Amino acid sequence: MNSSTTKPTTITVPVSSASPEATPAKERRPRKRHPCRPAERPDTPLMLPTIQAAAKLSKTPEALRALLGRYQVKGRDGNVTSPIGPGILGFKIGGLWYVQFDVAR
């Protein structure tokens, strides 16, 4: 047997001087504003409940519900809509009707 002893080789790994806790956090860019934010739209909300829409259309809520029911159409995806006039569209969500007005109105 060979009586010579071999030294194990050591590998040195360079260590960075800054620890992860000492590095500053990345600054986040502010979010880009969406061009059609609801807050910047006209005063009319996206969808009105039947009572408020009836007041805007000068109808009684019962007459508006009858009109929505008369023109209701069930789509392929199961949504029930009711186009009741130019720029006026009714949506049935659950058992309640909501009316969406065109922004130009």
Asked if residue 51 belongs to a domain, the reply is: yes
Residue 38: pLDDT band (50, 70, 90) is low
Model-level pTM?
0.56
Q: Tell me: pLDDT of 12 over 60.
A: yes
Asked if residue 47 belongs to a domain, the reply is: yes
Nearest to 84 by CA among 74, 94, 73: 73
Q: Are 77 and 70 in contact (CB under 8 A)?
A: no
In the chain, the percentage of residues whose pLDDT exceeds 90 is 47
CA distance 88 to 75: 17
Model pLDDT for residues 54-70, shown as the tens digit of each residue: 999 999 999 999 999 99
**Number of domains forming the structure of the chain:** 1
Asked if residue 6 belongs to a domain, the reply is: no
Asked if residue 60 belongs to a domain, the reply is: yes
Asked if residue 25 belongs to a domain, the reply is: no
